[in-house]
Amino acid sequence: MPTQCFNEMYQGETVRAPYARLEDWMHAMPTEFRQMKQAEAEALFRRIGITFAVYGEGGDPDRLIPFDMFPRVFTQTEWRKLERGIKQRARALNAFLLDVYGRGEIIRAGRVPASLVYQNAAYEPAVAGIVPPRGVFSHIVGVDLVRTGPEDFFVLEDNCRTPSGVSYMLENREIMMRMFPALFRENRIEPVDGYPALLRRTLASVAPAKCEGEPTVVILTPGHFNSAYYEHSFLADMMGVELVEGADLFVESGLVWMRTTEGPRRVDVIYRRIDDAYLDPLCFRPDSMLGIPGLMDVYRSGGVAIASAPGAGVADDKAIYTLVPEMIRFYLGEEPVLQNVPTWQCAKQDDYAYVLEHLGELVVKEVHGSGGYGMLVGPSSSKAQIEAFRARLIANPGNYIAQPTLALSTTPTFVNEGIAPRHVDLRPYCLVGERIELVPGGLTRVALNEGSLVVNSSQGGGVKDTWVLSE
């Protein structure tokens, strides 16, 4: 595993400028006070109800994601570069989706293999030929970023379907402001609390052609047993829209309606937080109890908008990810602002042979995997774990990609022993509608275990508040 990691706060013994005002705050916090504040934060999270469940696990069904009070800080200059790169990527990904469900020009040009698209499990033939409102397929793009140096940022993966975690971005800030008001008075920090209003404006801007007047927006949830249900209800509340389940909606006269105490109300935009397979039992899984029968017929006819669109997942496949720089060049005629992590595709014979030979040095991931599952971090795995994973790789090479073990940056983190560097990543949330917008910040996830590179909450990672300093 890499040992020389970029420390975002310290350059040698010198504190980097973005963190200058945090050094005194850090040293002036006695252990007892820190522990009291940590307990206060946990109590606030639990009282508000910010919990999550991990499917298949026993124990506490309402688990807290560990919250680290030490914020992560970016300068305006750093953020402007990230913002340019994220918006560029969101434009290219949406152009790709519009293309592959249409004429497939990028495939005809030989830039993307047809098999990667049309044989992809996330490709939905039922969507072929549909042009969604404003040509937008992915309305909320979560771009996972890692940093390896002062100027070096890499995209780890794209999330084009239903990227979660934005409620933590908002609540982390709220709780930090409540616990440390003086810290916010001393630092000029860009706000993130405008996100719900931006999200609602984005969703309203993609109302379908048949919409009359002010569009009615709803959030479609699988229900309170879903691990992200808190976020669904939180966003509905913050946006001032209805949170609905499939049984609350029905199709009639070529439109979607919501059952209310005052009678049926027409629905124009559905921000869905359920998977494609469960959206419409007449089109996808016939045993789905979560969707709305006939929804896809209304969608095809321009009677309702679905955000993000069915089939958007083909753009965030980890094999497709390797081709996003090519998409940027093909559709936008630009060079990528943000670079991909170098990636080996095990579906290719030469790449597969290299990965097998260097398994103990690489991070290997399932093409369709998420949440930190189905992956191998070679340098921190035992010989037995590596050999067990080797057998899975040999059985199905095309199901995996591999990447080098990057020296991810670290930020100071409060741990039981005091303050220590821990590896972090970042997920900003890019909204795509009439405009492309994102709030200055995102969800910083932190690997709380010493030396660990796995930041996912399902694997024991925590979260931090993310600051972008005003000029």
Mean pLDDT for 63-88 is 94
Residue 19 lies in a domain: yes
Q: Using a pLDDT cut of 90, give the percent of the chain over it.
A: 79
- Whole-angstrom Cα distance, residue 135 to residue 433? 9
pLDDT for residue 195: 98
- Whole-angstrom Cα distance, residue 24 to residue 21? 7
Based on its alpha-carbon atoms, the radius of gyration of the chain, rounded to whole angstroms, reads: 22
Q: Taking 90 as the threshold, does the pLDDT of residue 298 lie above it?
A: yes
Q: Taking 70 as the threshold, does the pLDDT of residue 372 lie above it?
A: no
78-107: pLDDT as tens digits? 999 999 999 999 999 999 999 999 999 999
Residue 423 lies in a domain: yes
Residue 193 lies in a domain: yes
In terms of domains, do 278 and 378 share one? no
Mean pLDDT of the chain: 92
* pLDDT band at residue 227 using 50, 70 and 90 as cut-offs: confident
pLDDT for residue 1: 42
In terms of domains, do 198 and 281 share one? yes
Residue 3 lies in a domain: no
> What's the whole-model pTM score?
0.92
CA dihedral of 422, 466, 188, 184, whole degrees rounded to 10:
-80
| Token representation of residue 396 | 């199905």
Residue at 311: amino acid letter: G
pLDDT for residue 369: 65
Higher pLDDT, residue 317 or 15: 15
Overall size of the chain counted in residues:
471
Q: Taking 60 as the threshold, does the pLDDT of residue 388 lie above it?
A: yes
pLDDT for residue 379: 87
Nearest CA among 246, 262, 192 for reference residue 429? 192
pLDDT for residue 147: 96
pLDDT for residue 3: 52
- Please say which residue of 385, 404, 423 terminates a domain: 404
In terms of domains, do 213 and 316 share one? yes
Mean pLDDT for 216-244 is 95
Q: Count CA atoms closer than 13 A to 241's CA, side-chain side.
A: 28
Query: In sequence order, which residues have a C-beta less than 8 Å from that of residue 278 and are 6 or more positions away?
Result: 222, 246, 284, 285, 288, 290, 291
In terms of domains, do 145 and 221 share one? yes
Mean pLDDT for 73-81 is 97
Domains of the chain: total: 2
* pLDDT band at residue 194 using 50, 70 and 90 as cut-offs: very high
pLDDT for residue 62: 63
In terms of domains, do 382 and 253 share one? no
pLDDT for residue 462: 92
In terms of domains, do 361 and 416 share one? no
User: Is 253 exposed, middle or buried, given 0-12, 13-18 or 19+ CB atoms closer than 10 A?
Assistant: exposed
In terms of domains, do 306 and 394 share one? no
Residue 448 lies in a domain: yes
Residue 335 lies in a domain: yes
In terms of domains, do 171 and 254 share one? yes
* pLDDT band at residue 386 using 50, 70 and 90 as cut-offs: very high
pLDDT for residue 53: 58
Mean pLDDT for 374-392 is 90
pLDDT for residue 357: 93
- Please say which residue of 355, 371, 404 terminates a domain: 404
Mean pLDDT for 381-391 is 92
Residue 5 lies in a domain: no
Which of 147-161, 244-258, 351-365, 453-467 comes out lowest in average pLDDT? 453-467
Contact 130, 123 (CB under 8 A): no
In terms of domains, do 122 and 32 share one? yes
- Angle, nearest 10°, between helix axes 195-205 and 229-239? 80
* pLDDT band at residue 225 using 50, 70 and 90 as cut-offs: confident
134-177: pLDDT as tens digits? 999 999 999 999 999 999 999 999 999 999 999 999 999 999 99
Nearest CA among 147, 150, 192 for reference residue 445? 147
Q: Taking 90 as the threshold, does the pLDDT of residue 471 lie above it?
A: no
* pLDDT band at residue 2 using 50, 70 and 90 as cut-offs: very low
In terms of domains, do 289 and 217 share one? yes
* pLDDT band at residue 61 using 50, 70 and 90 as cut-offs: low
- Please say which residue of 388, 404, 420 terminates a domain: 404
User: Is 325 exposed, middle or buried, given 0-12, 13-18 or 19+ CB atoms closer than 10 A?
Assistant: middle
Residue 391's domain is classified under what CATH number?
Answer: 3.30.1490.270
In terms of domains, do 354 and 223 share one? no
* pLDDT band at residue 398 using 50, 70 and 90 as cut-offs: confident
In terms of domains, do 296 and 161 share one? yes
Residue 48 lies in a domain: yes
437-449: pLDDT as tens digits? 999 999 999 998 8
* pLDDT band at residue 47 using 50, 70 and 90 as cut-offs: confident
What b/e sequence results for 61-87 when a residue is b if at least 16 CB atoms lie within 10 Å of its CB, and e otherwise? eeeebbbbbbbbbbbbebbebbbebbb
pLDDT for residue 377: 87
Q: Which domain holds residue 388?
A: 344-404
pLDDT for residue 468: 98
Q: Taking 60 as the threshold, does the pLDDT of residue 57 lie above it?
A: no
